[in-house]
Amino acid sequence: MKAKITDNAARKTASPAVSVLIPFLRDDPSDLLQLLDEEAASVDGAVEIIVLDDGTADADLTARLVKQVKAMALPARLITLSANEGRAIGRNRLATAARGGSLLFLDSDMRPDHRRFLRDWAELVAKEDPAVAFGGFSLLQAPTDAKFQVHRSMAAKSECVPYTERAKQPEKYVYTSNLLVRRDVFEAEAFDSGFTGWGWEDVEWAMRVSRRFRVVHLDNAATHMGLDTVDALARKYEQSAPNFARMAERHPEIVAAYPSYKAAKLLKRIPGLPALRGLMRKAAGAEALPVAARAFSLRLYRAALYADAV
């Protein structure tokens, strides 16, 4: 697919060590770009930014981003696609455009939790040049609206994990929301373009990579701003079931230890599971129930979706 490319003046002469790769679809990454650009002086040309619009098709947003990218102090490129290519293919496209020896995958709905975010990544690369490193993410700046309470509860428990705990299962706690990958590692193990829609392509990638390279966890967190309503999260889980099946088929020995896999195996034995799925989804959306009960129901719903895949 032909892409429209917009480079700023700083990119022409830069020799970055770290390329920050930001894919987005229908989100507006302008706030993130502004925050990152505030660190331009502290990284002194060591970091470039590459943004991929994966088929948003919003002319007004594109015009604003073109203007913003051209004005940035950090070396920057905007890649605009006319149609969606998908998360895995998009990340591979971003990596091809990158010039740094290390690639920092950063989701567009992330916000750095401190003003040393890029500098800390650049210093880590300069001193240690890790194969793979995950900085973690938090909910410090995330919205606190009632409609996001269930997702906030689930993310706080299973995803916003201290780096010391993440390091105990390094391949499990790897998300492309704040992930540094050395170029040679990415070229050896690219994201599988067979994963479509939402979910699991980053975890499956980490399973492959961890067999060959060390995965480092550190405390350089960014906030995940993109919390979802129960309905939106349930739709993502529905999309993710085929991806979970693909991952389970490829890495059965690892996936077998996952709580979601164990729950799916148990639920598979229950007669009338399709009808129960509807009840689980309904309970997750019932605002009268406590948040913990709704979160539990949504986890059950996800496991029930995955039952067909195990």
| Residue 239 to residue 208: CA distance in whole angstroms | 22
Distance separating alpha carbons of residues 153 and 155, to the nearest angstrom: 6
Over residues 193-205, the pLDDT tens digits come to: 788 778 888 889 8
Distance, CA of 223 to CA of 212 (rounded, Å): 29
> Phi and psi for 137 in degrees, rounded to 5?
-145, 165
The confidence score (pLDDT) of residue 49 equals 98
Q: State mean pLDDT over 16-30.
A: 94
Would you place residue 165 in the very low, low, confident or very high pLDDT band (cuts 50, 70, 90)?
very high
pLDDT of residue 194: 82
Grade residue 206 by pLDDT with cuts at 50, 70 and 90. Answer: confident
Angle between helices 230-250 and 273-284 (to 10 degrees): 130
Tell me the pLDDT band of 90, cut-offs 50, 70 and 90.
confident
SS (H, E, C) the chain: CCCEEEECHHHHHCCCCEEEEEEECCCCCHHHHHHHHCCHHHHCCCEEEEEEEECCCCHHHHHHHHHHHHHCCCCEEEEEECCCCCHHHHHHHHHHHCCCCEEEEECCCEEECCCCHHHHHHHHHHHCCCCEEECCEECCCCCCCHHHHHHHHHHHHHCCCCHHHHCCCCCCCCCCCEEEEEHHHHHHCCCCCCCCCCCCHHHHHHHHHHCCCCEEECCCCEEECCCCCHHHHHHHHHHHHHHHHHHHHHCHHHHCCCHHHHHHHHHHCCCCHHHHHHHHHHHHCCCCCCHHHHHHHHHHHHHHHHHHHC
CA dist 108 and 238 (Å) reads 23
> Please, what is the angle between helix 291-306 and helix 273-284, to 10°?
150
| Calpha distance 170→207 (Å, rounded) | 9
Tell how far CA 5 is from the center of its chain: 23
- Has residue 18 got a pLDDT over 80? yes
pLDDT digits over 222-269, tens only?
A: 998 989 999 999 999 999 999 999 999 999 988 998 888 999 999 999
Structure tokens at 35: 């925050």
User: Could you tell me if 109 and 225 are in contact, meaning their C-beta atoms sit under 8 angstroms apart?
Assistant: yes
pLDDT digits (tens, 9 = 90+) for 273-301: 998 999 999 999 999 999 999 999 999 99
Question: Residue 127 and residue 110: Cα distance in Å, rounded?
Answer: 25
